[in-house]
Chain A
């Protein structure tokens, strides 16, 4: 797939109009409505299949697709958080069902399956997907105290450590065989999350090797080599944010590893500046920060907003919360709240804006709604914190 090279005049001009406020914005919907709508959409994505997974996406031409264990994994902490904030035990119960469903998919050697879930079909394991499921298993253990979830998480993390190459890369069970992308920081971070409870030193060492290898790929311009789905192709903001967040969160779990934090900081500040100057993010960027501007990768907007807010947590720099507010607001413009054709779209977030953009064309992925909900909840938290802490005033 050519992610970024196609910039015909027609597509460029399309962006002039399609990144302007959508109809939803004129309805005066509050962000609370938007958050509830996104969570309701995620619940519907779970109810669309008989298993306890969340469907990978809603396709405009085909409807709901199959359940996706990978993203079901990282929707779990979103549900738990929402349930805690809005007193919704039914949503927490859904999250626990999701975690147990993921544990039920574990293979003999501890591996977790890639791709979508189709009853009766055994999928090949996947490094990245397994790590995202770890996030859900650990969250499930932390909330319910169910030891079986932690055991499943530790087995999966041990499997990840066992198939790692000596240089810290993973080339087996990859999205592209032989290519170990930099967004695998988001493999290492969930491994370290597991270690917090399992204290498994073999897993910790493997995660650190992986992160060291990726942090060394930082370029002087703040980009990190290989952070896209393919080498030498522009990276969607989705995978750029995966890479940054992985480094950032891993550095918080292992405070002595300052070089992980430094790499994350450099990339975060660079993309923050690009966003503030251009007032929008491109859908994808190449290694020289040349953007593919005719579409926006909406989930990337939400994920980067989350990275900026996490950066604020460390530095206290309110400019990053300010940028996050703007990036989240842009995404909200594309969330249908009163869809005229498919009621199933209500509350979902398209992969791209315009919907025919390169990232998940004509699809509403479950992780876009997940990251949007996360970003809204985090933003409210940060704003509340700022409001309660006026600067050295009386």
Chain B
């Protein structure tokens, strides 16, 4: 099966893990579409989104590959996962070199460079591991679609910071594998993988665990496809859920307080989360 992995920046541990593990599982990872970090438009958009936090984020993403970054819970879990899986690559470029995939650096996943490469390669699946919003022309290229692991239960929790919003609504966070369509997290659902919340977990731990779970969800979903030749998907209606946006630190603080006080035990799966099993 011909697979393409996307990546939001050149040190994305999430993308590195996927490239290497998919190749190890025997898939033909032909390309990695890596979005260039340094474009004025992107920097501006991120600054507006993250505010002051932007600078620490850039530092963490671009320069910290060593111990300091690994101490941060959001990064620690995926770093430990890479170690456990004996993945030594620290950049997407190294991962591509290791598995013999081509690395294509693009300004946007939807630009002409990216589209023409994909049209020529004709992948079966594009595995989404970051890089911004996808437009119709790219979504239409892969035979089986673009696979995403959304960070919260669908269709209830769409959009950004899905793990945090799931907790805010008393729902079990986890990753929901689905196919990307034109809407925001409105594509057909494949399966939900609940995340285990430990007593001493805080929001940052849950975010970190969700990244690892996303990698595992992708592998599971591709195995399903590999075994039966198709995905048994459940369609979503737009009206089934609401789009959520980045959560303000004041609300994140409340979540951390709830977690510390043990007030978020007995988290529930939403009633409409189904586990469609492939025959």
- Which A residues have a C-beta under 8 Å from some C-beta of B? 16, 19-21, 25, 273, 276-277, 279-280, 317-319, 321-323, 325-326, 329, 379, 383, 386-387, 390-394
Contacts and interface: CB of A to CB of B under 8 A. Distances in A.
A319 B47 CA distance: 21
B245 A276 contact: yes
Chain A interface, >50% SS class: helix
Given A391-B170, A393-B258, A323 B263 contact: no
A268 to B, nearest CB: 14
Interface string B40-55: 0000100111011000
A281 B49 CA distance: 13
Nearest to A319: B244
Contacts of A279: 48-49
Contacts of B258: 387, 390, 393
6 contacts: A19-B48, A279-B48, A279-B49, A323-B245, A391-B169, A394-B263
Nearest to A272: B245
Nearest to B265: A394
CB-based closest 9 A-B pairs: A391-B170, A325-B248, A276-B245, A390-B263, A279-B48, A394-B265, A392-B170, A387-B254, A394-B266
Contacts of B248: 322, 325-326, 329
Contacts of B52: 21, 25
A386 B251 contact: yes
Interface in B214-266: 242-245, 247-248, 250-251, 254, 257-258, 262-266
Contacts of A387: 254, 257-258
A321 B251 contact: yes
B118 interface: no
Nearest to A16: B44
A393 B170 contact: yes
Contacts of B44: 16
Given A21-B52, A393-B263, A383 B250 contact: yes
A277 B184 CA distance: 12
Contacts of A276: 245
B59 interface: no
Contacts of A280: 48
Nearest to A379: B250
Contacts of A390: 170, 258, 263-264
A325 B266 contact: no
B251 A21 contact: no
A216 B258 CA distance: 44
B44 to A, nearest CB: 7
Contacts of B263: 390, 393-394
A21 B55 CA distance: 13
Interface in B17-57: 44, 47-49, 51-52
Interface in B167-221: 168-170
B267 interface: yes
Interface in B37-82: 44, 47-49, 51-52
Contacts of A317: 242
Contact of A21 (B51, B264, B267): B51
Contacts of A325: 248, 250-251
B250 A393 contact: no
Nearest to B255: A390
B268 interface: yes
A273 B268 CA distance: 28
Interface in B143-161: none
A387 B261 CA distance: 11
B268 A392 contact: yes
Nearest to A384: B254
A118 B267 CA distance: 63
A393 B245 contact: no
Nearest to B48: A279
Contacts of B267: 393
A25 B53 CA distance: 13
B98 to A, nearest CB: 38
B197 to A, nearest CB: 11
Contact of A393 (B243, B244, B257, B264): B264
A321 B248 CA distance: 9
